[in-house]
Structure 1
Amino acid sequence: MRKARGEVIRKIVADSDFDPVLLGVDAARYPCLSGIDPYGDTIFNGLQVQRLLEELDSYKAICSASVEFMEDLDELCRMVKSGTHRFIWFIGD
């Protein structure tokens, strides 16, 4: 998670089993998750992260990533929502 000027607030290391795009996530059902670029950077702002949280709630049931990682990702999203000028960044390969 970063602030508007790029300052890193918190970061986590992605679980190798969390790769919605390469695993073929349904783009109609998960528009935010299907937009995470595994090879580039993807950024969600505070407004977009609400939709991302909703998608993560249902994605948890079919995702093989660790419970700990999914909880950490959920917490990061909530931190973005709780402040101003915050963004969640997914950094690809």
Structure 2
Amino acid sequence: MIDLQVRDEIGNILAHSAGVSWDESLVEIDRADLPMIAGLCPYADTIFNSWQRPMLLEELDRLPAERGPWVDRVRAMCRTAEEESHRYLWFVGD
């Protein structure tokens, strides 16, 4: 499981959500087509800033509907991050 967090610029956790259930289909994502999602790693942290979040959201829209509820959680956390400046969306691996 990759947890989702919204953090401010000094690292304070402002919001937390159950994240992405890692499965092999995420490994098979085409890096050329979905580079933001393909960059997720279950063993490391991945951070999206205000310039990268719109690209991530665009990629989420292109995923098949059967991907699961994690897609909606990521969208919700992106909205939380967009509420103020200097907020980052963190995918926290184990």
Size of the aligned set, in residue pairs, is: 89
Partner of 1:3: 8
Alignment of 1:30-45 (within 5 A): 30-45=34-49
CA contact (8 A) 1:2 1:88 kept: yes
Q: TM-score, normalised by structure 2?
A: 0.81
Distance in 1 (CA, whole Å) between partners of 2:37 and 2:29 is 8
CA contact (8 A) 1:20 1:33 kept: no
Q: TM-score, normalised by structure 1?
A: 0.82
Partner of 1:91: 92
Give the structure with the larger strand fraction.
Answer: 2
Report the CA distance between 1:36 and its aligned residue: 1.1
Match of 1:56 among 60, 77, 83: 60
Give the fraction of aligned pairs with identical amino acids, expressed as a percent: 33
Report the CA distance between 1:16 and its aligned residue: 1.9
Distance change in 2, residues 1:40/1:54 (3 Å): same
Partner of 1:78: 79
Unmatched runs of 5 consecutive residues or more in structure 1: none
Distance in 1 (CA, whole Å) between partners of 2:24 and 2:11 is 24
